[in-house]
A and B are shown apart, each in its own frame.
Chain A
Amino acid sequence: MSSPSIAVADPEGPTAPRKKRRGSGGGNLGRYVITRLLLIIPTVFILVTMVFLLMRLIGDPITAALGGRLSADQLQERIAAAGYDRPLIVQYVEYIGQIFTGNFGSTISDGRPVTEILITYGGATLELAVYALIVAFILGIPLGMISAYFRDKWPDAVLRVTAILWYATPVFFSALLFKLVFAVWLKWLPVAGRASTRTELDIQFLPSPTGFHLIDAFQTGNSNNVSDVLSHAVLPGLALGLLTAGVFLRLVRTNVIGTLSAQYVDAARSRGVSEIRLVTRHAYKPALIPIITVMGMQIALLLGGAVLTETVFEWKGLGFMLVQYLSARDYVAVQGIVMLLAVIVAVTNFIVDVIAALIDPRVRY
């Protein structure tokens, strides 16, 4: 990837959008960002309300989690103690108030504070998502440019089919296949988990663990721990990353083809700009807006995929815990995890919109 800021300053680059931006005034962008930032609040509010109502539609969480295991009297007692027998609106207002103080309640099945679960396991999911994004960027963007440049020739054909295959394979199936081939048959990589027991123990005794196993492994100062963590990360990262890489490749290809045929690209070529520079700067930069917008959309896909990947590899992150709590019908925990993931996506969408507005003034309204 080339740095976009250089391309803007480049006199040969597409200058038309830049002039327009100056004409429309800088205050416009500031207002757009603030409007968009304020719009996150209702977004999160709607999400919280929606999850709350949906989860209460099926009854109170205590009956769902413990029904059948406790007698009717015991159930009533616990429901009354937790306040689930009050009117829904009272519970709702109380819940919103609690969220503002960072209190998501305690799980029913094992009585842990939800906030603690989010902090403990959130890091693992984030780590997996970062690995996957690295794979996706390294593979998706350059291959997409190559595919666009060799449009309809054999490299394009091969790359396109590859991209579709990556995308068409459900992440849990590619995860299972990787596991079967590289972990069970070839025995190159570990079957499951984030690290072997030895490394996990080392990390546990760290004074200030970050939740990111790779950083923690570096903190232990033991190179065996680092390589152990990395070897555990390869298969999950690859499984989740290939899915996203396929989407990125296709996206970059379509949009770069669109801009490659533009007249300013011909003009640049006639001035003797190198072919590589044509693709990576002149054609790639104007294609960035749709690319960035759709990439932002992929965060939701990535997090959904993380839930499945974590299940296959017993990667103890939010997705893994979500499935555990779902099967225990512990909806307080489910509510907390779902909410956190949803808020992450809302914030990502905001960042993506701002970046798109920075690049193209027409997006601002």
Chain B
Amino acid sequence: MKLRQLILFSILLLYGCTEAFDFSTVSTELDQRYQNTIQKQLAALEEGEKNTRTLDFPISFALFSDTHMSFNKLDKAIQIVNANPDIRFIIHAGDIADNGILREYILFHNTMKGLSAPYFTVIGNHDYLLNGEDIYTQMFGPINYSIKINGLYIIFFDNVRWESGQEPDFEWLDNTLKTIPSEAKKLVVSHLPPWSGELDEPQQQRYINAMREAETTLSLHGHIGKFTFGTPYQDDIPYLTVDMNETDYFAVIHIYADSLQVEKIPIP
């Protein structure tokens, strides 16, 4: 190969790369096109649902979690979701990144652009590594937030303790749940299920009690490397966990007026 051909080949090869230059693993400079994703997703959702002012049962959505660097798997899950027009939105229960590196967040963002429905995220423990929290808040918005999709309330609650170096803001969770009518359908999303080992005993109990008192429709999580669904606390509150890094499954949830159905969807 001649020198000129070699240089041309190298330029073309690198032009095709997602991000041509990496300066450091601790960089946090995020281009504006990647910022405020939750706001943009909400706008897209409102646009899509503007003719539906009340809950229209069943309401169906997908739960992804712990995608880490499994972008090929995430891509396949997106194709499955896109083929199902009943799915109105997607929730990601955290561990968007693997090492909290800017490139990982950008890869996630670019991959999720392939979704035909809006998506909403909660922060996971891996998302906190290095300067991940800074990147996460730029890309998505506040760590704790809630949204209302017509009559359905969804609360995104950060309960990561060790990597964040701070305790979960249970006061915020309690206050937010209090603002929701008791009869309303409500979902709570946090990365760690109460039994994961990271929350101490009083915190576990506080979370379980909060779900119970608010009569939460479904508590959604990731982190534990398993697909699980059940009512583990001798009450009627169902808990669902998904982990797409350790398993080849995600979930599709259908909420009806008086019940809910969880489908375990295999990723080929």
Question: Do A and B come together as binding partners?
Answer: no
| A interface, CB within 8 angstroms of B | none
| B interface, CB within 8 angstroms of A | none
